Homo-oligomer: A and B are copies of this chain.
Amino acid sequence: MFQGHAAIDRFPDDNRLVYGDGLFETLRVIGGIAPWWDAHWSRLARGARRLRLPLPDEGQAQDVARELFGDRTDGVLKLLLVRGGEGRGYAPDAEAAPLWRLSRHCLPARQASGLRVHWCQTPVAIQPMLAGLKHCNRLEQVLARAECAAAQADEGLMCDGEGAVIGATAGNVFALCGDAWCTPPVDRAGVAGVCRTQLLPLLGARDLHLSRDQIEAADAVFICNAVRGILPVTRLGTRTWPEPSPALGAARLLARAHPDMAFDLEPS
C-alpha cells in the first residue's frame, strides 16, 4: 500500500520524471527509526551536487518521515527528489525548486533460503558522470529484472559491456576470493550502495574489478542492500554454493556492528 507525503500535495502532471531527472533513496526503518539516515542523506547530497539539484531541507524531510512512521513500527521509507520545472525540453531550470516526496512501504518478505541468481544479458552502460548515484534512470535494471523473472531467479548480476561485473539489479555484490571479500568499484557504473559502504571497512573488503569467471570461482558470494542487508547466494547460473554460506559470518559482523538495523541473521 502506498502512503505518500511531501511538501506539496501532488507532483504536477508535467514534471521532470519524464526524463528520470531525479534521485531516490530507499531506507530500512526499524521501530519508526531509519538508523542509516545520515548515510542515505550523504549519498543523496552527493548525487544532488552532481546533478546540480537543490536539496530539500533535511529537518523538514525528517519531520515527514517521523509522521509517516508515527506508529513506531518497521517498514521501508522511500525518498524521491525530482528536479523542478516542466518536462518539455531537456534544459534544466536552475531556478526551479525541487519536488520531493517520502513514501512508506512494507519491508520485503524475509528470504527463505539462499538466493538463486541469474547472469543478466542486459549490460550496465559505462557512464562515469552518473556512476555511484541512485538516480532515476533505471531502464537497464528494469530490463534485467524482467530477465530474472523469466529465469525464475531471485536476483540477477549485471556486467558492463566489457565483461566486468558491476552488481545486482538492486544491490551490490561481494565475493570471497581466497581470504578477502572483494566488491566491484562503482566509479564507472553501478550504485554506491549504503550497505556496501558500511561493509567495506567492516569486512576489510577490497574494491576490485571482477570478471564473471572470478565471481563463479569465488568461495562465497553475497548480494547486499540497505533494506535487506546481506543475502547469501547459493546458485548463480549453473554454479552452486553449499549452505551455510561464509556470507553468514559477514552478516553476523554487520548485525553486531548495527544492532539497530535488526537484519535477519540467516535464512529462516
Contacts and interface: CB of A to CB of B under 8 A. Distances in A.
Interface of A: 2, 4, 10-11, 13-14, 16-22, 24, 51-52, 76, 78, 80, 83, 86, 88-92, 94, 101, 103, 105, 122-123, 125-130, 135-146, 148-149, 161, 169-170
B141 A19 contact: yes
B170 A90 contact: yes
A115 B139 CA distance: 32
A151 to B, nearest CB: 12
Contacts of A21: 138-139, 142
* A-B CB proximity, top 3 nearest: A20-B20, A125-B125, A19-B138
Interface centre among A11, A122, A127 (most CB of B within 10 A): A127
Contacts of A126: 125-126, 161
A169 to B, nearest CB: 6
A11 B14 CA distance: 10
A145 B88 CA distance: 13
Contact of A91 (B20, B149, B161): B149
Contact of A51 (B89, B139, B169): B139
6 contacts: A19-B20, A51-B143, A78-B88, A91-B148, A125-B126, A126-B161
A186 to B, nearest CB: 15
Contact of A18 (B122, B136, B145): B136
Contact of A19 (B129, B142, B148): B142
A97 to B, nearest CB: 17
Contacts of A2: 13-14, 86
A224 to B, nearest CB: 16
